[in-house]
Amino acid sequence: MRNPIKYLSFILVSCILSCSSSFIVKTDKTTINLEPLSKNTIKVGIDTGKYISYFSRNDLVELFEKDQEKWFDQRIESYVEDLRSLNSDTIFKNDETVLTLEMAEYGLKFYDLLLAGKARIINKETQERLGQIECKLTRDKLGGENAYFYTQDGIKFYEIVLAFGE
């Protein structure tokens, strides 16, 4: 008797290869103009390697408070308290846990603020501040959605998984 796992694997690979050559079914690109952040605001930043993206603490608090209005959740209230307790600009690495808030929670808020153009993005090497960025949203055949943010030169500086596929 043949190995059923090998047989099923062969069928699965055959089905995948016979499908359309592209796993991505939809791609949208958007150019975003970045608004300058107030000099007086405390900034929360994320270091993604070559670039640091800064966001206003107040904008983040506002987004979490909107979530709190929709779903009364004690965790969200603690996130707002943690943000309000920041007394100076704070920069986090992309994979760190921030206060009581996992980076994934912040990532969704960063995504919202990037789409709205409410961010300051600095090239760490040249200290150049970006005026425009590009966002590429993709959806795959299994329902997964990702967002990728690029400089005008085509350098990816941030990405986030918005939805997992099947």
Structure tokens, 112 = 């919202």
Q: pLDDT for 13-67, tens place per residue?
A: 445 544 545 666 777 889 999 998 988 899 998 888 899 999 999 999 999 999 8
Q: What is the C-alpha to C-alpha distance for residues 139 and 162, in angstroms, rounded to an integer?
A: 10
Q: pLDDT for 66-104, tens place per residue?
A: 988 887 778 778 888 889 998 888 887 766 444 445 567
Reported as type and span, the H/E element at residue 11 is helix 4-18
Crossing angle for the helix pair 103-116 and 57-70, nearest 10 degrees? 110
Structure tokens, 163 = 């939805």
Prediction pTM value: 0.77
